[in-house]
Structure 1
């Protein structure tokens, strides 16, 4: 039996009586608790995917386990989650951007490198295969963090406080990027002026003029109302997100073998669920913001030129990691 608990006492489909019963069970049962974290609310695809992950574990495991999922950044931001996972404290499982794990595993951001995927079909083919296994092995060895599945599917674009529709307007654009060096290298090659600042500081940084914008997918823009300070979205389509479902290695090794098996099987299935969900919702959420006139959506003129400009940076990055064969394998799929 699996008991669900969140900071907002949320479980999809449960009524008040069911929630009270679950809370009582959690208080009295002598069972194992797995602690999850989401920076977002219950409507975000990440949260829905983690709830589905817990449901799938429940279906596959005969023992007792409680899932304590905390929402809305109660346990911090993704950079905090990485430290917690690595140390085996506070957070046992979550979904996060690979770039946030670069401190411990320098090669891991390759799976989320801008302009890596040709299209949605290429992205799905990579995530449905075992081609990323070398990166998973490095993450486990160097950070003691396990990848148990892959979700994602949001298309990342540039969001800004003034229109950006071509290379001339992108030149010198002060933008926030994620902390992995490859992110800054890619956008520097496109003549922007990137800097890595904390995600929870982005809104104020745009508001105060420290930066003029950043890059993100529709769900996060909508959820955190970034359109209030950056009402222009430029369709650079520079990334289709790869978001590993991860678990602390220290936590995983403490689980009974049958629960370990359930976690691995549930992670794979939850990843498939999350990829379909986020891919579908991404376009819907972008359209909702455009229809509400919260965002002005712009095409980027000459986007094909961007693809050519970043290839040398991608190649150099892969070479520095000793990952040329891996990059070639991804491109060839």
Structure 2
């Protein structure tokens, strides 16, 4: 067995045996509460990360009544992912909702940057249950973070203004925005692109002005970010599945009353199946909206991308 097949088999087998408004914020309760909890996300309304956070807030606030109120601040109002994670660690922000950047805190989160590893949402849920929460969440706590659940972000596809992407060779020389996770950068370097790590809030203008040629995101983020207005091609690669990680400040979480702590954990877990269900619905709806908006779609050659991914597995292993 080659090193690549051994690495991939070990990863997949170990991951899951058998399956693997006030303008600008969402707050269901406007009245002053005893405990005010701030939740920051870079995502815009309509995006899956924001919608998940808003549903979590709705359910939590309904449970807590006047005792506590959780407000979601969207569209990077409280900073980009890196800035918000720092605030969470310091205890100046209650919650943030990172995705790929989590591997900069705990490298093992880079497993979600392994191309074509996650088969489907059921598999993703199994990884979260069997690996992330019991094995990786404690590593985050050692860094000052409290991971409360693993929610949906989605399968990622490539958009750009240069050409349709059918094989990795088509990425040659394409300036492609990526998140700041090291493994995503390495992956696209291996495919021949020129990856450019950049905060999500900066991507639209960078595409509009030609600073970058393209980017990669789930359908819902492409649409909520209005990238269809400045991108011509959408190539369905589904190269990576990325969750979102609702993450509390451990320093602040430990100061909450016990019933608030329990309500947070219970509600975060209850929100998980809702995020998967809604993401499945949104995928079909938004894909059609992007087509209707004029984007040119093509289905990429999966086999060629899988073949080109072998070196990243070997390095990660």
After TM superposition, the score normalised by the length of structure 2 is: 0.84
Matched residue, 1:88: 91
Shift of residue 291, structure 1, vs aligned partner: 1.7
Q: Following the alignment from structure 2 to structure 1, what is the Cα–Cα distance between the partners of residues 298 and 207? A: 19
Matches within 5 A, 1:255-274: 255-274=256-275
Checking the alignment, whether the CA contact within 8 Å between 1:150 and 1:272 is kept in structure 2 is no
CA 1:263–1:196: 2 relative to 1, 3 Å: same
Matched residue, 1:169: 170
Q: Following the alignment from structure 2 to structure 1, what is the Cα–Cα distance between the partners of residues 98 and 252? A: 17
Shift of residue 114, structure 1, vs aligned partner: 3.0
Q: Following the alignment from structure 1 to structure 2, what is the Cα–Cα distance between the partners of residues 67 and 200? A: 23
Checking the alignment, whether the CA contact within 8 Å between 2:151 and 2:244 is kept in structure 1 is yes
Q: Following the alignment from structure 1 to structure 2, what is the Cα–Cα distance between the partners of residues 87 and 7? A: 27
Gapped regions of structure 1 (runs ≥ 5) = 13-21, 320-333
Matched residue, 1:126: 127
CA 1:181–1:207: 2 relative to 1, 3 Å: same
CA 1:315–1:276: 2 relative to 1, 3 Å: farther
Checking the alignment, whether the CA contact within 8 Å between 2:121 and 2:276 is kept in structure 1 is no
Matched residue, 1:18: none
Instruction: State the Cα deviation string for residues 52-96 of structure 1 (Å, max 9, x = none).
Output: 21233345547700222222322122222111111111x312322
Q: Does 1:154 align with 2:154?
A: yes
Matched residue, 2:106: 105
Checking the alignment, whether the CA contact within 8 Å between 2:25 and 2:73 is kept in structure 1 is no
Checking the alignment, whether the CA contact within 8 Å between 1:149 and 1:269 is kept in structure 2 is no
Q: Following the alignment from structure 1 to structure 2, what is the Cα–Cα distance between the partners of residues 140 and 152? A: 21
Q: Following the alignment from structure 1 to structure 2, what is the Cα–Cα distance between the partners of residues 153 and 224? A: 14
Matched residue, 1:57: 60
After TM superposition, the score normalised by the length of structure 1 is: 0.81
Q: Following the alignment from structure 1 to structure 2, what is the Cα–Cα distance between the partners of residues 241 and 203? A: 20
Checking the alignment, whether the CA contact within 8 Å between 1:108 and 1:139 is kept in structure 2 is no
Which one is further off, 260-269 or 52-61? 52-61
Q: Following the alignment from structure 1 to structure 2, what is the Cα–Cα distance between the partners of residues 207 and 247? A: 34
Shift of residue 7, structure 1, vs aligned partner: 4.8
Checking the alignment, whether the CA contact within 8 Å between 2:155 and 2:241 is kept in structure 1 is yes
Q: Does 1:307 align with 2:306?
A: yes
CA 1:47–1:181: 2 relative to 1, 3 Å: closer
Shift of residue 121, structure 1, vs aligned partner: 3.3
Matches within 5 A, 1:210-221: 210-221=211-222
CA 1:278–1:167: 2 relative to 1, 3 Å: same
SS at match of 2:237: strand
SS at match of 1:54: helix
Gapped regions of structure 2 (runs ≥ 5) = 1-20
Q: Following the alignment from structure 1 to structure 2, what is the Cα–Cα distance between the partners of residues 171 and 239? A: 19
Matched residue, 1:71: 74
Q: Following the alignment from structure 1 to structure 2, what is the Cα–Cα distance between the partners of residues 34 and 11? A: 10
Matches within 5 A, 1:318-333: 319=317
Q: Across the two proteins, how many residue pairs are aligned to each other?
A: 295
Shift of residue 228, structure 1, vs aligned partner: 2.1
Aligned residues: CA RMSD? 2.3
Matches within 5 A, 1:244-255: 244-255=245-256
Q: Following the alignment from structure 1 to structure 2, what is the Cα–Cα distance between the partners of residues 168 and 111? A: 23
